[in-house]
């Protein structure tokens, strides 16, 4: 009988709130196949390339985009869908306010009826997942996908690219219904050691264990990782052709890091970009996810917050 209050507490913690709530809530996986909701194949895109409601976004080197992109694709930069320094702490990559983001997405041609596909040119995987996760934050995630394998997969399948630039169009986009799965340092600190929650560092292992430190010469980060965090480097979750690894391979990677198969994952990296690639892989496995947008740039600057070096410590859930 004493377990019932704990169960009710857990259900209250992770139950979805009404759309008007501003409290952060984990982004839920799609049902019944979370992976299928996140990605489209080259074959699917070839069949739907001329659909009137398709909005195709190219994420890559702006200098390379005019020379080769998938027909109809519009170039999108991270600056188009993010802001910096909203908190006054010098943070580099943050979610915009809802009205600002709505205007920017409409300027990319996104409307209420749009089916959005985002793809990476060359190896720009984590900027692409950042764009895609921003669409989910904007409440548009049910109609937004990533092209698995990016433009290289498109050309490898024999499909053409173009130099023709699409005609700019403004989308008719209603006020956003934001899905707030972004958390701050205080929230992350409150979740350290919480059963059923994994704080996951998506940076390369050298940054996690403290043998390298991030930041800049003028504002270096502390060496190490958030106390209690697991390590799942974002770069290990795609194969040699930059396709997302199989469910079995992804599950093995998260399990090896000490992440439980039903854990809510709070993701972070240097500034909130690489973490989105890791969180996309976690979502493909059915995990509920939250993004620490300030990431280690923010945590490191708060010197009162705990940082550890070395390999991950065993969990004792």
Q: Provide the pLDDT for residue 84.
A: 81
Q: Residues 181-204: pLDDT tens digits?
A: 999 999 999 999 999 999 999 999
The percentage of the chain sitting over the pLDDT mark of 90, rounded to a whole number, equals 84
Measured in degrees and rounded to the nearest 5, phi and psi for residue 172 equal -90, 95
pTM, to two decimals: 0.91
Least confident range of 70-74, 220-224, 268-272, 311-315 = 311-315
For range 120-125, the mean pLDDT: 95
Residue with tokens 């009205």: 99
| pLDDT (average), residues 214-227 | 92
Residues, the chain:
317
Binning pLDDT at 50, 70 and 90, where does residue 3 land?
Answer: very low
Q: Is the distance from CB of 143 to CB of 172 less than 8 angstroms?
A: no
Span 251-258, average pLDDT: 98
Helices 125-137 and 98-107, axial angle in degrees (round to 10): 120
Go through 101-121 and write b for each residue having 16 or more CB atoms within 10 A of its CB, e for each that does not.
bbebbbebbbbeebbbbbbbb
Cβ 60 vs Cβ 153: under 8 Å: no
Give the C-alpha separation, 65 to 61, whole Å: 6
Q: What is the pLDDT of residues 84-112, one digit of tens each?
A: 865 556 788 999 999 999 999 999 999 99
Q: How many percent of the chain have pLDDT more than 70?
A: 91
pLDDT band at 27 (very low <50, low <70, confident <90, very high): very high
CATH of 181-308, one of 3.20.10.10, 3.40.640.10, 3.40.250.10, 3.40.50.1110: 3.40.250.10
- Structure-derived torsion over alpha carbons of residues 214, 216, 218, 223, reported in degrees to the nearest 10: 10
The fold of 34-156 is: Oxidized Rhodanese; domain 1 (3.40.250)
The model's pLDDT over 124-160, given as tens digits with 9 standing for 90+, comes to 999 999 999 999 999 999 999 999 999 999 999 999 9
Ranges for all domains in the chain classified under CATH 3.40.250.10: 34-156, 181-308
């Amino acid at each position: 009988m004493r377990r019932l209050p704990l169960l009710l507490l857990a259900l209250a913690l992770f139950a979805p709130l009404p759309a008007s709530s501003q409290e952060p809530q984990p982004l839920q996986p799609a049902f019944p196949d979370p992976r299928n909701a996140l990605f489209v194949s080259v074959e699917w895109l070839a069949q739907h390339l001329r659909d009137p409601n398709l909005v195709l976004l190219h994420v890559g080197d702006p200098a390379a985009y005019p020379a080769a992109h998938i027909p109809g694709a519009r170039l999108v930069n991270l600056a188009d869908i993010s802001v910096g320094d909203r908190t006054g702490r010098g943070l580099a990559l943050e979610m915009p306010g809802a009205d600002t983001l709505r205007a920017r997405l409409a300027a990319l041609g996104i409307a209420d009826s749009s089916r959005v596909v985002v793809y990476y040119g060359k190896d720009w995987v984590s900027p692409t997942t950042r764009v895609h996760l921003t669409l989910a934050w904007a409440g548009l995630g049910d109609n937004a996908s990533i092209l698995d394998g990016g433009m290289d997969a498109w050309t490898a399948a024999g499909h053409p690219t173009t130099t023709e630039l699409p005609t700019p169009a403004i989308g008719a986009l209603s006020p956003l219904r934001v899905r707030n799965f972004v958390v701050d340092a205080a929230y992350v600190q409150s979740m350290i050691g919480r059963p059923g929650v994994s704080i996951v560092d998506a940076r390369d292992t050298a940054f996690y264990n403290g043998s390298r430190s991030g930041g800049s010469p003028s504002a270096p980060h502390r060496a190490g990782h958030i106390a209690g965090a697991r390590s799942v480097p974002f770069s290990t979750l795609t194969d040699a052709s930059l396709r997302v690894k199989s469910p079995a391979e992804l599950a093995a990677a998260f399990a090896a890091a000490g992440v439980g198969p039903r854990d809510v994952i709070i993701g972070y990296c240097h500034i909130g970009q690489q973490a989105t690639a890791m969180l996309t892989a976690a979502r493909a496995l059915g995990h509920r996810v939250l993004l620490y947008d300030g990431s280690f740039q923010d945590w490191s600057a708060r010197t009162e917050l705990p940082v550890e070096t070395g390999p991950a410590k065993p969990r004792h859930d």
